[in-house]
């Protein structure tokens, strides 16, 4: 299915009262953020809600011995994220956190979901993870989509990403951190209603 086809499907399925929440899941560097922005631009009254705003701060990760595993499921405030999803279903106006990749920090209340935002494209690695407490998310989505990209292409994209951000240990970081996270998503996610395999 193309992004155009997916947008048409979402529009047809969202033809009803209340908010319509789409889970856009996939491994790191699969292109979720780009696709989410593309879908939101194609749809009326739509916006993106990233999961990445729930990264624990580096100081918390250091204290828990998880700094070297940043981006793994246990390095996110999963319960906080689930609480946000429930608020997005029930409340008209909700503040959301955003992750600043340049600063490597989450900013609380960095954006606002407004009453006019009727279609929400929620994007993140672990939206479909078959592991508690992430499994609670499934019931909160109206449509689930998984972006599937070959591992070698993900590594290529991540190499470009970390070079862009000036990370000197990019290859080591990908091997020790990003690849385990990629494999967790690919092998540990429940099936999505729609699987996209970008060309």
Calculate mean pLDDT across residues 3-7. Answer: 93
Place of tokens 């889970």: 23
Q: Which helix (H) or strand (E) holds 94?
A: strand 94-100
Residue 199 has pLDDT above 80, yes or no: no
- Select from 129, 136, 142, 37 the least CA-distant residue to 80: 136
Q: What is the pLDDT of residue 161?
A: 86
Query: For 81-115, what is each residue's pLDDT tens digit?
Result: 999 999 999 999 999 999 998 888 999 999 999 99
Calculate mean pLDDT across residues 116-140. Answer: 97
Q: What is the pLDDT of residue 2?
A: 87
Residue 164 has pLDDT above 90, yes or no: no
Place of tokens 């992750």: 99
Alpha helices in the chain (DSSP H): 3-13, 32-42, 58-63, 78-90, 151-164, 170-173, 179-188
Calculate mean pLDDT across residues 167-177. Answer: 86
Whether the CB-CB separation of 144 and 24 falls below 8 Å is answered with no
Q: What is the pLDDT of residue 173?
A: 85
Whether the CB-CB separation of 106 and 57 falls below 8 Å is answered with yes
Structure tokens at 64: 């828990």
Query: Where residue 172 falls among pLDDT bands split at 50, 70, 90?
Result: confident
Query: For 28-78, what is each residue's pLDDT tens digit?
Result: 999 999 999 999 999 999 999 999 999 999 999 999 999 999 999 999 999
Query: Where residue 169 falls among pLDDT bands split at 50, 70, 90?
Result: confident
Stated pTM of the model: 0.93
DSSP per-residue codes, 16-73: SSS-EEEEEE--TTSSHHHHHHHHHHHSTTEEEEEGGGGBPPHHHHHHTT-GGGTTSG
CA–CA distance, 101 with 65 (Å, rounded to integer): 21
Q: What is the pLDDT of residue 166?
A: 80
Whether the CB-CB separation of 12 and 143 falls below 8 Å is answered with no
**pLDDT > 90 fraction of the chain, expressed in percent and rounded:** 83
Domains recognised in the chain with CATH numbers: 3-196 (3.40.50.300)
């Amino acid at each position: 299915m193309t992004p155009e086809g997916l947008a048409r499907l979402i529009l047809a399925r969202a033809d009803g009262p209340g908010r319509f929440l789409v889970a856009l899941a996939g491994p790191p560097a699969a292109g979720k953020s780009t696709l989410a922005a593309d879908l939101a631009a194609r749809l009326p009254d739509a916006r993106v809600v990233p999961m990445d705003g729930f990264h624990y701060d580096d100081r918390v990760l250091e204290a828990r011995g998880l700094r070297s595993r940043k981006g793994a499921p246990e390095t996110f405030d999963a319960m906080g994220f689930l609480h946000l999803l429930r608020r997005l279903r029930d409340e008209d106006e909700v503040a959301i956190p955003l992750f600043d990749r340049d600063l490597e920090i989450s900013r609380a209340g960095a954006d606002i979901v407004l009453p006019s935002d009727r279609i929400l494209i929620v994007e993140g690695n672990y939206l479909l993870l078959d592991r508690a407490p992430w499994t609670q998310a499934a019931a909160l989505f109206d449509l689930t989509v998984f972006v599937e990209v070959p591992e070698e292409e993900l590594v290529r994209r991540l190499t470009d990403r970390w070079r862009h951000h000036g990370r000197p240990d990019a290859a080591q970081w990908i091997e020790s951190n990003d690849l385990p996270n990629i494999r967790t998503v690919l092998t540990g996610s429940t099936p999505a209603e729609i699987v996209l395999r970008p060309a």
